A and B are shown apart, each in its own frame.
Chain A
Amino acid sequence: MEALRVEGLSKDFGGVHALSDVSFSVERGERLAIIGPNGAGKTTLFNLINGQMLPTSGKVFFWGQDITHMHAYSRAHLGQARSFQLISLYLNLSVLDNTLITLHGIKRSRFQMLRPTTAYTDLLAKAREILSPIDLWERRDELVRNLSYGEQRRLEIALTVALEPKLLLLDEPSGGLTSAESSEITDSICKLGRDITVLLVAHDMDLVFGIADRIMVLHYGKVVANGTPEEIRADPRVKEIYMGIEENAGNTTAT
């Protein structure tokens, strides 16, 4: 069963082709990592899949349904959850408020105007379940801006995962973390059930090779390679992009 299929997706910003004719599909439960140098179009691709932007051309299918022009909030209700590259938590709200806003988002109670959020004891219990393992339950009234960077990242990932999405979009989940914190994130993603499909954008190769079933390489908005980690590791074009070796500049000793 295909969780996600992208067909001929292109996005232009003015004259710049951020993405051109990108096509791929992701099976249910698969972990696909998308790598590529800065400016390759990885985050743009995420924005198109999650609905922050509309494509210039091409289509996006989610579980067989055409979602190309669907609003971002409707995609959340279909089961997409996304973490952002830069921390996008609500810095001026408390840890608990951040958690409760996340949990109400896909519930009907999100429209409730006269009942306090804290009156939803089931969601409060759920918040405790999310925050306790990352040691933030005791500090739930703290403003998020007062947490350390690592704690903010952990909270962001925990909240994204907590929605039990069908498709998880992780944009640089370990960006700016120490290697110990990063491997903690890797572990928590590895522990996810196989009913969750994961799409991952990362520069951290330990994370990518630790998680991915398949890796797709983007370069200047085009898919350069798409295959298993072994294939990608052996691919000469990928080496070229990452090592910066030009084809006709063969005088550099390749090691």
Chain B
Amino acid sequence: MTTTKIREALRQPRQLILFAPYLAGILVLVILPAVSPAYVLGTWTKFVIFALFALGYDLIYGHTGLLSLGHAAYFGAGGYTVAALMLHYNMDSLWVGLPLGILIAALVATIFGFMALRVSGMYFLLVTFALGELLYSVTWNWKWLSTPGMQGISGLPRPDLGIPGFTWNTLSFYYFVLVVFLICFFLVHRIMYSPFGHALRGIRENESRTQSWGYNTWLYKYTAFIITGAFAGVAGVLFVYYNRFISPTHVGVATSFLPMIMVIIGGSGTLLGPIIGAFVIVFVEYFASLFTPERWPLILGAIFVAAIMYARGGINIHLSRLWQRLINRYGSTKG
């Protein structure tokens, strides 16, 4: 009797406590880069871009349960779209580049997803991988997609926001990326808690049951695939604006692996997991490349193995368990 009363009384503050990690995360993302040294700021920007990539990827992997190994294709499609616009048409407006990049990425996902979703499980992974490599070889061989004399498109400017007198610096560019990220985070959050997002998790848990309850599961998987393709496109566009250079490597399997590893390390099927995973990968890569650049793949492999062996379910689960313990302690001292 008394315990339920206490629980009732704690419900409101509890919800605040549950919201606290998000608030803390946003504060960290807003304040910390501003006070960190300029040379680390680029790494923060890269981290936010890849957090966005992983967050979108998790919709298809963590929520729907489909393991795709070709998401660099949509990342690259978005990136190459804005890069080609700048190279061939001198069009560096954000308001043309970003929407077009998202559109092309979603379009590629619409075509590739249609083919890949004819099969399931390991075959789905292989088909997405093969289609990604197909796009990789296109970017490798199609001269139109390269600055003359090299592989890839280089020397790209930052986007034009259309604000007169505005010039970019590293910090303002970081905040621009952060704003796009927060919009995408909000969208993923909404999708995750919507009936659509619930249906995706239903498909992950038991597809034939979800179908017998009236869901056209194929259409759900296809839609989710296109949505993740669009998010990957956003990340690709931002990456080109950040990196000012895109090469076939950014369309290939090495890049496809990144969101997958980030999601697995951070924790799939959660909102914070992909972000934590992206943080670990991007920052460890940064510090590793300071000391032993050539050993980075080895370190990446070691992190991956360690995460699977000692932090199964992802770092996020362990963090939230710790957090839960803190809340419980806080709750019990009140009681």
Residues of A within 8 A of B (CB): 50-52, 71-73, 75-77, 80-82, 84, 88-93, 97, 100-102, 104-106, 109-118, 120, 163
Contacts and interface: CB of A to CB of B under 8 A. Distances in A.
B197 interface: yes
A112 B211 CA distance: 17
A80 B211 CA distance: 12
A76 B198 CA distance: 18
Contact of A82 (B190, B194, B212): B212
Contacts of B214: 73, 76-77, 105-106, 110
Interface stretch (B150-158, B200-208, B242-250): B200-208
Given A92-B205, A93-B202, A104-B199, A73 B211 contact: yes
Interface residues of B, number: 24
Contacts of B149: none
B191 A114 contact: yes
Given A90-B202, A91-B205, A101-B202, A113 B190 contact: yes
B255 interface: no
Interface of B: 187, 190-191, 193-199, 201-202, 205-206, 208-217
29 contacts: A51-B212, A72-B208, A73-B212, A73-B213, A73-B216, A75-B212, A76-B213, A80-B212, A93-B198, A97-B201, A100-B195, A100-B198, A101-B198, A101-B210, A104-B199, A105-B210, A105-B215, A106-B214, A110-B195, A110-B196, A110-B199, A113-B190, A113-B196, A114-B190, A114-B191, A115-B190, A116-B190, A116-B193, A117-B198
A185 to B, nearest CB: 19
Contacts of A81: 212-213
A151 B211 CA distance: 23
Given A71-B211, A102-B213, A117-B195, 8 more contacts: A73-B216, A93-B202, A93-B205, A101-B213, A106-B214, A109-B195, A113-B191, A120-B195
Dominant SS at the B interface?
helix
B206 A90 contact: yes
A104 B210 CA distance: 11
Nearest to B211: A72
Contact of A110 (B191, B201, B212, B215): B215
A120 B195 CA distance: 10
Contact of A90 (B193, B196, B205, B216): B205
- The CB with the most chain B CB atoms within 10 A, among A50, A52, A93, A111, is that of A111
